[in-house]
Amino acid sequence: MAAPFSSPTTPPPLRSIFQPNPNPPKALLSLTGSFHRGGPHCAKVGYNSIGATSVSLWSSSANYSSLRNGSTKLSGKPVSVKRLLQNRRGVVRNATIEEIEAEKSLIEDDAKGRMEKTIDTMRANFNSVRTGRANPSMLDKIEVEYYGTPVSLKSIAQISTPDASSLLVQPYDKSSLKAIEKAIVSSDLGLTPNNDGEVIRMSIPQLTSERRKELSKMVAKLAEEGKVALRNIRRDALKAYEKLEKEKKLSEDNVKDLSSDLQKLTDEYMKKLDNIFKQKEKELLKV
């Protein structure tokens, strides 16, 4: 007798590739809406394997999409991917009070050091201007061609003043006498060297009234150049303070106080410059 008819066992349902993944990746943000004319769109924001944040946009939730190395494909058509943040790594640390104080001190020390060097340079420039009285510093700017290399005169010879109206140059190497003589003649000092084969002697002629006035104008011009240099140093320091303010390391009031202190420092060195200028001017005008 035939076996009773029975319905075949129902096969398990096939999973469609269009079915949603039961364990979808977590997203930070998911938005759905009609952003374009083509129909509903979906955007997802999440982290990829390297810790970067990306936004993916596709036109239909019913389509199958896959993400490979930051590029999204939709039914064979590429879809734009916009990265908001890429490889955001590192930690931002605020500067400590000690570090801020160190930066302030560095700016102050740099400004003061540069101003001091400016005064030294101006003093040397003033000393090189000839007056009616003999002074070894008159020859400070003279360079001599010594064995093919330009060197300062005072580095290869001893300079002295036997009296108030003469200079004596005694070279350490007598073979350099001719080179020294040539350098003095080529200078703008207006001196006539007398080479006796051992030393070089020079008499300092008295300055005429007209020449004194010319030299006085020259010194005044040098003094003005020194003042410009001091102002430029002050400007550079102010810019450095303003940079710290932009970096939120200093407040506006801090910068105002520091600017006031910087102005006092500048005035102090301006006064020093005026003093050495007036002293030189007095020497030039003294008969």
Q: Evaluate whether 53 touches 61 at the Cβ level (below 8 Å).
A: no
User: Mean pLDDT across the stretch 125-138?
Assistant: 80
pLDDT at 60 > cutoff 70 = no
Task: Choose the weakest-confidence range: 42-56, 127-141, 169-183.
Answer: 42-56
Q: Which of 26-35, 70-79, 205-214 has the highest mean pLDDT?
A: 205-214
pLDDT at 275 > cutoff 60 = yes
Residue 23: the pLDDT is 58
148 HSE (CA, 13 A, CB side): 0
Q: What is the CA radius of gyration of the chain?
A: 42
- The residue written with tokens 């004319």 in the block is 37
Q: Evaluate whether 40 touches 61 at the Cβ level (below 8 Å).
A: yes
Q: Cα torsion for 23, 27, 29, 33, to the nearest 10°?
A: -40
Spatial strand order of the sheet with 39-47 comes to 29-36, 39-47, 53-58, 81-85
Task: Choose the weakest-confidence range: 82-86, 175-179, 251-255.
Answer: 82-86
Higher-pLDDT residue of 204 and 32 is 204
Residue 119: the pLDDT is 96
CA proximity to 46, closest of 75, 70, 17: 70
pLDDT at 269 > cutoff 90 = yes
How far is the CA of 199 from the CAs of 133, 150, 202, in angstroms? 20, 20, 10
Query: pLDDT > 70: what percent of the chain?
Result: 66
